[in-house]
Amino acid sequence: MGCRDVHAATVLAFLSGTASVAGLLAAVLLPNWRQMRLYTFNKNERNVTVYTGLWIKCARFDGSRDCVIYDPQWYTAVDQLDLRVLQFALPLSMFTAVSALFLCLIGMCNTAFVSTVPNIKLAKCLVNSAGCHLVAGLLFLLACAICLTPSVWVIFYNNYLNRKYEPVFSFDISVFIAIASAGGLFFTSVLLFLWYCACKSLPSPFWQPLYSHAPSMHSYASQPYSARSRLSAIEIDIPVVTHAS
């Protein structure tokens, strides 16, 4: 595995993480977390479906795409606990995933543009590619857990509502999008962990999460002046001056 170059695994992880964040954004904005079907026995009227999102609510007649009732202030009056939890969990998951993407991008840029022999004086301040990707993988895994847990809870809470009231509730497409996005975040973290596990066996200290102390990096530096001077003193030919008779 080309650990000293930008590898396909890290590029694929970055693209997968970006797609997962886009999926989370779609799940947050779409008003399709829960449907409530309202049936009528009047043949002159049509059934109504209420689409519930995290921020808005929309009621439509069957066969119509226009909202009969549109409530843009729904987010302030959410009376369903699972949706209220998702209002906090999904933005937090998105923020965590975006932070991981930023770290992943820093790691790739560091691999591509930074010299493999850093300045010893700046060793403690340099950004490490392996450290960036390792922390990014942990953040992706955390974002997956934050997103997946409340998204799966929606399915069980939907069954609870059907038992408590009437079987008119069903979860909608946003649940599947959120779960798929969580799977993408998990896949991204696995890719980064595999990359790190394949690269940490290298003898160079630059593939450790943090750089070692400066004394361990002397192998990359030239010898001290005192050592060079002692060696050069041995190798210098000393001319011998003889006095002419």
Query: Closest by alpha carbon to 52, among 83, 90, 25?
Result: 83
Least confident of 67-71, 189-193, 201-205, 233-237: 233-237
- Strands 169-171, 34-38: pairing is antiparallel
Residues 106 and 127: beta-carbon distance below 8 Å: yes
Higher pLDDT, 45 or 29: 29
CA pseudo-torsion sign 26, 28, 29, 32: positive
CA distance 82 to 97: 22
Partners of 38 in beta bridges: 48
CB 128 within 8 A of CB 210: yes
pLDDT, one tens digit per residue, over 90-140 is 999 999 999 999 988 887 777 666 555 555 444 444 556 777 888 899 999
Q: Using CB atoms within 10 Å of the CB of residue 14, give its burial: 0 to 12 exposed, 13 to 18 middle, 19+ buried.
A: buried
